[in-house]
Chains A and B, each alone.
Chain A
Amino acid sequence: MESWLERVAAIEREDILMFINSCFTCTGQKEFYSDEEGQKVSLDFLHDYILGNYRLLYARTLAAGINHYNIGQIIVKLLATGKNIEPKHKIEEGQLIAKALQNLPTQRAWKVLAQLQNLRINNRRSRAIARDYWQQRPELSFDAVKYGLKLKKIATHNHFALEEELGTFLFTPGEPKRYNTELFEHRRQANFSNEAIYKLPFTIAEGLAVKKGIPRAEFLTHIEPQMTRGEKLRYLQTAEKASTRIKQIKFDLDWKRLSLTRLALYILSLSIEQRKAEFDLFNQALLTSAQRICKNSNFQLGKVAAVLDCSYSASGSAEKRRRPLGIALAAHYLLQTSAREYRPFWTIPVSEPLMVRARGQTDLATPLLDALEWGADLVIIISDGYENEPPQGAAEVLRIYRTKLDPSHQVSIIHCNPVFDPDTFTPYILSPHIPTLGIREAEDLSTLVNFARFADGNLSLERLQDYLALRAKQMLLQSTKS
């Protein structure tokens, strides 16, 4: 008979796990089985619930490796409710917020700060956080050109005293005849000269080029040096649908430095013929990218089997096109490089993973049985958890395997789910007998494999709290990213 306190601890443990899991995967966007409104409402409720009940753990979740969207949400919610904080945790929370904000990609960080104005959040701490972030930006003039509207909002909201030229540029850009800051001057000249457009950041230049009627093909050839890797990749994706003249422009894209999941998503957006034609390039790029991740995170595994879902539901939604399948493909490459022995088991067998397509029914039971029969130490299932051939097939396999065939947990089985289910406030669970973890990028797999032992239900609440405290401490000690 468990005591009252034990019961409370178990609930807290479940709550925190549920929250972290959701934060790994959900971004409030449309999914295959549910709309964006449901996703947002459900996730928002979860945030408020955890914030209200476990504030310290809520703040420390910032260090748990969750996705950027949720980091932003947590920061905003913490800043909005500063009154409720316990005095002894005040400093830690402030430091965590500042650090997390710094680690966010620039555009997301500015967005979070601009959101504070929309939500009418203005207090001493929020102003200090905004000020510190503002001051540590290495090149404010660049940010002012690229994210002008957001910076303007933030400056007004926090009553910043701006240096003369920055202030003029943000609030009365047309006034001066000349700017001393080089980039501001380019931006001013771009109103009149086509040459200056090509010295601006891509996103800004793009709009101006349309305004000036510069042909797209000409614009793209000139702007190339200004484009970031992400922008080039994004452009390549859209160029497939564009005219032949634009298609002919070849970018000097450093394939090997692209992030694994994004690269996988790009490749999946191509037709089978294109993938075949560039097979060596893509294969090599994915391998290099996976090797880099393994080296950086020291990710090493033994005999691993992956059960990968390539059913039609892996095609995701209009907002998250093919993301579940992209994660499965990226994970395939990552596991291939990190494991001593590895074998993939797709729901519909594919001869060459690069040619995989999201189609057909979900039969998880067969590949799972194959994986178990092969004798892996670790089985990783990447699936949205909806199976229909037969329904509950894999769930039954897992139940019997865990309770009867392998009760001592000789083989670890983890289910990684790329989809958040708004009805249950957590990624859809395949079976209660194995841990289900949210996943948004295959790069997070090493974090997830570590985290799985908590979700497995063997470790106590204290251990989970310690783990989060440790992660938080590590994050604060880590030097600022370059």
Chain B
Amino acid sequence: MQTNFLLSDIQLTGLEIAPSQVKGAIRIVPLLKHNVRYDLRLKSQQYEEPLAIVSLSGKLLDPGLKYFSYIPQGLVMSWSDDGSPLASSGTQLGSGNGKKMFGGLLRVIPRMSKKIEHNQLRFLPLHLAMEGFLAMFFGGPEIAWSDYSRRARSQGLNPRCEYSYGGRSIIGLENALRVFEIHQQQVGVMIFVAEELASVFVVPTPEDYRALHSTLLQDFYGELIYQYAYVYQTTYPMNVTVDDDQINNLKDLRREIELVRNSWADFQGFMANSLLERPVISKKVYQAGSFTLQRFLTDIDSDQVNHIGEAIVRDTGELEYLKTYRLSALQTKRVHLLSKLAQYNWNLDDTAQGLNISRNELIYRFKKTGFDYLLTEQASRINLIEQRQFDEAKKL
């Protein structure tokens, strides 16, 4: 009997946080694992096309829901059913990776995750989470309120899009990854840009990590991360000193240095608490033997930093794979607004009441988050004086 394990919060079970390495404004924190089992492996497959279309349902080129993005790589997970160790086998670019079209300008990929062999699943890292994020409340209003435009009523949020920044545009990230010294037991990292958690990345084994280290540059990151890398030159200077008074000989000194090491780990765990100490809502994507592939989202709290991500968790609760993306403030506001609307059945007056704001302010929020295309011309009208008041209030 297989049990699936859905995350209710992100805990770095079985992982040890090591002291960070800093280059410029980028702080990279290694995550180590001492008890490595080799019954799950990850391997990257590079796609060269500048654009990819993922067919989310149905046949490859049939009409239906599609996901468009630059997708530089897919990950192939291989697992063994009986817990026996796997060698990192070379996987070939098979049918699961879709096909090239238009002379290599485009790749059409079937599904976000697809089983390609008995014990192999291909999925698109981070896009899996992002697709889940975009698909939230995608259907739009279920009751045909007259405030919504005809398009919103018939097609929902379609098309729904978000912008992100590629790793190469994050200033200093490439250099920081190049000079980063990978630990022997390392299976993951936490990346901070100017002390803001940009992403957490964990894989099952140190060998996989070494192979995938440079793919961190191909991932996409939130807008704030891009801005912080652009604005800040250094991290916040941090130092842990040893207390002289406690030391009378070399043995004491060794003990104190060990304490320094531990305090680094604790502190960096604390720095990541926007992710680590938050309840998450997760959804199963695939059950592979004793491993559950899932995507998740932190509780949508518009006052806090929110992350989306995907994870593979063993049935014992150990984290085998994790990749997260930090939502920008605007992205958080969007999903917050959508969730509230869904909660009140997309009724504008009820939602405004629920949020404790006026109806016009709710309309104003629609505009500011770029959702005014959902409303009819008439409903989205607010007078200018009021709009200015909202603008002023926002500035304060």
Which residues of chain A have a CB within 8 Å of any CB of chain B? 32-33, 311-313, 348, 359-362, 365-366, 369, 372-373, 388-393, 396-397, 400-401, 403-405
Contacts and interface: CB of A to CB of B under 8 A. Distances in A.
B151 interface: no
A311 B254 CA distance: 21
Given A390-B19, A393-B257, A405-B249, A360 B242 contact: no
A361 B184 CA distance: 8
B38 to A, nearest CB: 20
6 contacts: A361-B182, A369-B250, A388-B21, A391-B239, A400-B242, A404-B244
B215 interface: no
A457 B17 CA distance: 39
Contact of A361 (B18, B239, B256): B18
Contact of B181 (A362, A369, A372): A362
Contact of B253 (A33, A369, A392): A369
Contacts of A397: 253, 257
Interface in B25-51: 30
Interface string B338-370: 000000000000000000000000000000000
A389 B18 contact: yes
Contact of B247 (A33, A361, A405): A405
B179 A32 contact: yes
B230 interface: no
B181 A396 contact: no
Interface of B: 18-23, 30, 179, 181-184, 239-242, 244, 247, 249-250, 253-254, 256-257, 260-261, 264
B182 A393 contact: no
A209 B360 CA distance: 84
Nearest to A390: B19
Contacts of B181: 311-313, 359-362, 388
A411 to B, nearest CB: 11
Contacts of B256: 396
Given A390-B264, A391-B20, A312 B253 contact: no
Closest 10 CB pairs of A and B: A312-B181, A390-B19, A388-B21, A396-B242, A361-B181, A390-B261, A361-B183, A365-B257, A390-B260, A369-B254
Identify which of B179, B182, B244, B253 gathers the most chain A CB atoms within 10 Å of its CB: B253
Contacts of B19: 388-391
Given A373-B250, A392-B241, 5 more contacts: A369-B250, A372-B250, A388-B20, A388-B181, A389-B261
Contacts of B182: 312, 359-361
Contact of B257 (A348, A369, A404): A369
Contact of B260 (A366, A372, A396, A404): A396
A32 B176 CA distance: 11
Given A400-B247, A405-B247, A390 B257 contact: yes
A400 B244 contact: yes
Nearest to B261: A390
A366 B261 CA distance: 12
Nearest to A391: B19
A410 to B, nearest CB: 13
B250 A405 contact: yes
Contacts of B247: 400, 404-405
A30 to B, nearest CB: 12
A361 B30 contact: yes
Contacts of B260: 390, 392-393, 396
Given A33-B179, A359-B182, A396-B257, A390 B250 contact: no
Contacts of A312: 181-182
A389 B30 CA distance: 10
Nearest to A406: B250
A311 B21 CA distance: 13
B93 to A, nearest CB: 28
Contacts of B244: 400, 403-404
A177 B84 CA distance: 79
B21 A405 contact: no
Given A33-B179, A361-B18, A389-B18, A401 B184 contact: no
Contacts of A400: 242, 244, 247, 253
Contacts of A392: 239-241, 260
A405 B253 CA distance: 10
A361 B20 CA distance: 10
B362 to A, nearest CB: 49
Nearest to A393: B257
B181 to A, nearest CB: 4
A396 B261 CA distance: 12
A466 to B, nearest CB: 37
B35 to A, nearest CB: 19
Contacts of B261: 389-390, 393
A360 B20 CA distance: 13
A401 B264 contact: no
Contacts of A360: 181-184
A396 B183 contact: no
Identify which of B19, B181, B184 gathers the most chain A CB atoms within 10 Å of its CB: B181
Identify which of A311, A312, A361 gathers the most chain B CB atoms within 10 Å of its CB: A361
Contacts of A404: 244, 247
Nearest to B241: A396
A406 to B, nearest CB: 10
A366 B19 CA distance: 14
A360 B206 CA distance: 12
Contacts of A372: 250
A366 B254 CA distance: 8
Nearest to A392: B239
A403 B182 CA distance: 33
A323 B312 CA distance: 41
Contacts of A313: 179, 181
